[in-house]
Amino acid sequence: MGPTPDFKRPRGTQDILPDEAAKWRALELVMARHAESFGFGEIRTPIFEETELYTRTSGASSDIVRKEMYTFLDRGGRSMTLRPEGTAGVARAYLENGLASAPQPVKLWYLGPLFRYDRPQAGRLRQHTQFGVEVFGAASPLADLEVVLVAHDLLARLGLERVVFRLNSIGCPACRPAYRERLVAYFGAAGDRLCPDCRERVGHNPLRVFDCKSEDCRALLDGAPLSVESLCPECEAHHLRVGEGLAALGVPREDDPRLVRGLDYYTRTVFEAVYQPPEGAAGAQHVLCGGGRYDGLVEELGGPPTPGVGFGLGVDRLVATLEREGLAVPPAGEPEGPPVFVATTGGPSEVEGLALARRLRGAGFRVVTDLLGRSLKAQFRAADRAGARVVLVGEDELARRVAAVRDLDSGVQTEVPVDRVVEVLAEWRRR
């Protein structure tokens, strides 16, 4: 032991030494390449923003705003906050940089530190690193599916197979007011059986009671009305399609009607990826990543109505999980050749397209799929803009188990059995 130093690192922070830092760097590269293989581009935003960006979007009564923000006055007397979450800053940048008038959807990924004044004894860091993706401008359930696939396939690529996606829908501005009333009535009747915090929460946002850790509140939740029972037909259809899509893609999922997530901006889909340790192994199950849809967020920042969906993944927790499982970070691999656009014509061809896109990514291609439910013509235009080869799996093709593959340079289209598409494109790549 050396001499006792005068300073220690702040509580809830960590120093990462060279051996460990090398692992982080390898992992960061895997995450970057993985996001890029879906056609996401990187965005870097400031680590501090005007405080109001967070109070307005997370909600004044959220735990983040009430207890966890690092807020300070700068020397000009302006209130600033170290970013406690990633999405609000990215949405602000989307608007400020005119991305709202670029061709949609706009797909962004980011990686960087977040800051929350949390209880370090609960295993939470006050500075932690988050990897996240955001899709702006796509209202279709296809976008929800893609976002979950980014998370699921990343974890699978890292060797984490025992991950279940918990899924719920918390409705939209059309159906939530009625649900909210039912909740307020239910919790109102419970009176002082709610903890003091929740008695206050019920007035602002009664959904937050679902996140409360107190025993009394948890007991009350068993009988509470559920959001899935109050969905409008549009929200219900959306929720169904996300669930069916995940089932068709083989993503392990569980409906969790009490999952709400603690931020005001979520609408419709919310989800969490829960890691289950192997039987008999040390460690408890824990959430590796969480996200959802935020169709009102951009508008709330003064922009046009713009749907959005994304997730955030805690990298510190991921590193610890990989370590416990004895998993080394695999090589990142570099996507080769021109990108591929998988075009579909709706119905079952959409999920088939997502599945084919995954197989192509597995073979080292960068692959984009339609997230807007566009016409074929519009999809071909988007593919041209991206300089992409097109693979068409329409309903006609699907019935014959083929895909139409169009060569980029000659424009010639050939039909190939669906099972041979990866092989054929890999062959073209070598030419």
Binding site for Zn ion (CB under 5 A): 171-172, 174-175, 195, 198, 212, 214, 217, 232, 235
Cross-strand pairs, 269: 169
CB of 293 to Zn ion, least distance (A): 11
Q: Decide whether 93 or 217 has the Cβ nearer to Zn ion.
A: 217
Minimum distance of Zn ion from residue 195's CB (angstroms): 3
Nearer to Zn ion, 78 or 193 (CB): 193
Shortest distance in whole angstroms from residue 229 CB to Zn ion: 12
Q: How far is CA 282 from CA 162, 253, 279, 324, 413, in A?
A: 14, 23, 9, 8, 54
Nearer to Zn ion by C-beta: 33 or 241? 241
Closer of 174 and 378 to Zn ion (Cβ): 174
* CA proximity to 406, closest of 429, 386, 425: 425
Find how far residue 91's CA is from the centre of its chain: 14
- Residue for token pair 């050396």: 2
By the 10 Å C-beta count (0-12 exposed, 13-18 middle, 19+ buried), 136 is classed as buried
The nearest distance, CB 256 to Zn ion, in angstroms, is: 18
CB nearer to Zn ion: give 232 or 248.
232
How far apart are the C-alpha atoms of 147 and 132, rounded to whole Å?
A: 10
| Distances in whole angstroms, Cα of residue 52 to Cα of each of 60, 81, 301 | 10, 9, 10
Minimum distance of Zn ion from residue 236's CB (angstroms): 8
Six token digits for residue 340: 């591929």
End-to-end CA distance of the chain: 61
Give the sign of the dihedral formed by CA 397, CA 400, CA 401, CA 405.
Answer: negative
| DSSP string across 73-128 | E-TTS-EEEE-SSSHHHHHHHHHHTTGGGSSSPEEEEEEEEEE----GGGT--SEE
Query: In terms of CB distance, is 232 or 386 closer to Zn ion?
Result: 232
Residue 423: CB atoms within 10 Å:
12
Which is nearer to Zn ion, 171 or 314 (by Cβ)? 171
Nearest-approach distance from CB 143 to Zn ion, in angstroms: 17
Least Å from the CB of residue 220 to Zn ion: 8
CA 108, 113, 115, 119 torsion: positive or negative? positive
Measured from the CB atom, the residue of 235 and 388 that comes closer to Zn ion is: 235
- Nearest distance from C-beta of residue 213 to Zn ion, angstroms: 8
Which of 195, 393 has the CB closer to Zn ion? Answer: 195
Least distance to Zn ion, CB of residue 146, Å: 21
Measured CA to CA, the distance from residue 120 to residue 13 in angstroms comes to 9
Residue pair 371/357 in contact by the 8 Å Cβ criterion: no
